[in-house]
Amino acid sequence: MKLALCIIDMQEGFVGHLRKGPYLNRACEVIHHTAGLLRAGGHPVIHIRDVEEAESWSPEALAVIPEIRVEEGDFHLEKTHSNAFWETRLAELLQEQEAGLVIVCGFAAEHCVLFTYQGALERGWRAAVLQHGLLSDHTEAVTDTYRFRHTVAYPALNISWSRPLPKEIRTRHNVLVPDPRY
């Protein structure tokens, strides 16, 4: 089973104003580290951009912020709805990549990230939000998302990549952890 990291709406027009606060750098560091772990293991990293405002936004506003590293081999998807599965080829891409667990992160915790998380569950994937990888204009929305959704922390993903991840991942205290039998 592969993991898939969906990095949602980390665009200048959505999160550029968050540089003034304490959360953007931390979220970007966690997302970057997690993406690196997954890339090293041959797991897909998918950058999802909202282009609903493409006609009224500049190309700079639509661009992924420089704090998020986009590397060769990463996948790119554009969406016009809050749920990244809706009217996109995200489901097909996840099937092609044999993803079994979809990890979502990015902006905004209470909108596009949450709707994409729910979209994954509705389509039969296991899903989790990346701890410390969510942003919002409302800090309580981030806290509530962690509290009421499956959450995975990047240290739990930092396991040996010399063998495939186990097919079964157990849920304990609403946090996904690798099965200790592997």
Burial class of residue 76 in the structure, from the number of CB atoms within 10 Å of its CB (0-12 exposed, 13-18 middle, 19+ buried):
exposed
Task: Decide: 39 and 73 in contact? Cβ < 8 Å.
Answer: yes
Give the mean model confidence (pLDDT) for residues 22-37.
95
Burial class of residue 20 in the structure, from the number of CB atoms within 10 Å of its CB (0-12 exposed, 13-18 middle, 19+ buried):
exposed
Min mean pLDDT across 51-55, 151-155, 157-161 is at 157-161
Query: What is the 8-class DSSP label of residue 20?
Result: G
pLDDT digits (tens, 9 = 90+) for 51-68: 998 889 999 999 999 999
Domains parsed from the chain with CATH numbers: 2-178 (3.40.50.850)
Q: Is it the case that residue 3 has pLDDT exceeding 90? A: yes
Question: What confidence tier does 159 reach under pLDDT thresholds 50, 70, 90?
Answer: low
Q: Dihedral of the CA atoms 72, 31, 47, 74 (nearest 10)?
A: 20
Instruction: Specify the 3-state DSSP secondary structure of 53.
Output: coil
> Alpha helix locations (H) across the chain?
12-15, 23-40, 59-62, 90-96, 114-122, 139-148, 154-157
Please give the model's pTM, rounded to 2 decimal places. Answer: 0.86
Please state whether the peptide bond connecting residue 99 to the residue before it is cis, i.e. omega within 30 degrees of 0: no
Tracing tokens 């039998």 back to the chain, one arrives at 181
Task: Decide: 47 and 77 in contact? Cβ < 8 Å.
Answer: yes
